[in-house]
Structure 1
């Protein structure tokens, strides 16, 4: 299974900053030892043209040239630097590469980072600079339109956002677009405190545990099935619903999150929908807790990648 990383492009942060930058490199180390079936590749940088499918030219230029105001940097949560700008482009690039791979026959592929769902078209927020999921949806639609000009309608994309925080930027970007369905399942009392309406929002109470979470997910996927027929699934597999997360406020166990991942991936597999996933949030009091949640996600994904590979062999025969 292909997975793309950008952790060698380090964002310099001041001492004591609460964003756990080290988790990305640590995840790559763990995948090398624990999940040898994952084929790791370094992410390419998203181009201005790719970013402009979602983001305004003024905002793209401000990130590239260091033109962000102090207030805009505070809203993002990162000080501007050339490293910040490069890493943001690579994070988008990784999701683009994963989505292309999934669409090209891999069936499932991943970004070791990404899930930057708080970024709007014209600004960043909540540790999110560019919106990798939105750019990937738009680019896949554009490439599909070029290759299928005379057949069928637009590529229809389902975004299944299971980060503990609502995907407000993504919801705003696709608010009037009936070719993209946005599902966000998140903590009701968590960031962002001013939420944007998704196509389907599922708000969870503080302290939500495995059984209630999985029941809510089942209902949400069933509603998605009745309201929308996607051609592609983009999945934000946040580690922050875990009970050990310092920002999550939910109480899911390792087993509960693994069951969550399996349910989403099985839902896509049953419909033979290509799926690209990214890791989104994770702020464990213990960094290894966050990384373990993410490693578990990759273990589940490898099972479904093997199913896609076996199906390809059968078609070849």
Structure 2
């Protein structure tokens, strides 16, 4: 069984009608996976909320407190990209904890998938680009407390650079970060991950898949991580609203299958988050995000 992490709060977020963030995609994906029999109800787990003290392990306590209490200034909220609300706080706290739970389940079962996560633009003292708290950095740090977990690799294949992850984890030698992203895309000012692989606008399947395969194989050989946190963003798709690569739906499946297969072959637990994906068509977005689950099922049924 592949554990799947989901909480109903993920899509309980009221946004202006023309807002670019598809907040309902989490609920639609959950329903789609069950309807298409890609997953069963017995696979799903829900986390508790992360606490302020726990978030302070990677974020400035004043920033954490300001967001949770709704006292951040207008400029800070504008940088995040969301209007503040209690539902935003709820879904954020559950989602961060959800990625931590995904890591714990991956360590137990070998693979686990979070129907949220990948908020890699959140920095120590501020949020950015629809990201408030950096769930992958937090989950990596918590995972290092588990027996036999001495090195964690955050392998970020979202189309945007994981700039917040890069800045937060720079003080943690046992967290290795790799971001494979489109160079001509947000954020304009890139930060330094342990490994940054920048792809030109319009990159197609062949070059992209070779890059991902070779990069992960190299990182596994060199660092021998005890856990991989994989950001399987689908904003690499050719028709994504916020991505500038030219990757097909089949390309997404092949990428996810290869990443999960490499982890399994190396006997490294892999915790997957769905990351970014932007489309006004919920059905197309369901199909793109579901490739991760189909790939995991394929690898783990072998």
**The one of 141, 155, 160 aligned to 1:160:** 155
- Per the TM alignment, residue 206 of structure 1 is displaced from its structure 2 partner at its CA by 0.9
CA distance, structure 2, for counterparts of residue 293 and residue 7 of structure 1: 21
Partner of 1:62: 66
Partner of 2:52: 48
Correspondence 1:256-267 to 2 at 5 A: 256-267=251-262
Does the alignment pair 1:180 with 2:175?
yes
- Per the TM alignment, residue 159 of structure 1 is displaced from its structure 2 partner at its CA by 0.6
Does the alignment pair 1:88 with 2:89?
no
CA deviation map 1:70-106 (0-9, x unaligned)? 01001100011111111110111111111111112x1
- Per the TM alignment, residue 138 of structure 1 is displaced from its structure 2 partner at its CA by 0.6
Does the alignment pair 1:102 with 2:102?
no
CA deviation map 1:238-283 (0-9, x unaligned)? 0100111011111101111101001110111111111111111000
Partner of 1:314: none
Task: Give unmatched runs, 5+ long, in structure 1.
Answer: 149-153, 308-317
CA distance, structure 2, for counterparts of residue 305 and residue 52 of structure 1: 36
Aligned residues: 298
C-alpha contact (below 8 Å) 1:53/1:139 kept by paired residues: no
CA distance, structure 1, for counterparts of residue 14 and residue 93 of structure 2: 15
CA distance, structure 2, for counterparts of residue 103 and residue 48 of structure 1: 25
Q: Secondary structure at the match of 1:255?
A: helix
The TM-score normalised by the length of structure 1 is 0.90
**The one of 227, 235, 248 aligned to 1:232:** 227
Q: Secondary structure at the match of 2:9?
A: coil
Q: Secondary structure at the match of 2:172?
A: coil
Q: Secondary structure at the match of 1:8?
A: helix
Partner of 1:170: 165
Partner of 1:315: none
C-alpha contact (below 8 Å) 1:240/1:290 kept by paired residues: no
C-alpha contact (below 8 Å) 2:114/2:273 kept by paired residues: yes
CA distance, structure 2, for counterparts of residue 226 and residue 270 of structure 1: 12
Correspondence 1:210-225 to 2 at 5 A: 210-225=205-220
Does the alignment pair 1:283 with 2:286?
no
**The one of 117, 121, 125 aligned to 2:124:** 121
Does the alignment pair 1:301 with 2:296?
yes
The TM-score normalised by the length of structure 2 is 0.94
CA distance, structure 2, for counterparts of residue 28 and residue 101 of structure 1: 18
C-alpha contact (below 8 Å) 2:234/2:289 kept by paired residues: yes
CA distance, structure 1, for counterparts of residue 161 and residue 8 of structure 2: 25
C-alpha contact (below 8 Å) 1:108/1:304 kept by paired residues: no
C-alpha contact (below 8 Å) 1:235/1:278 kept by paired residues: yes
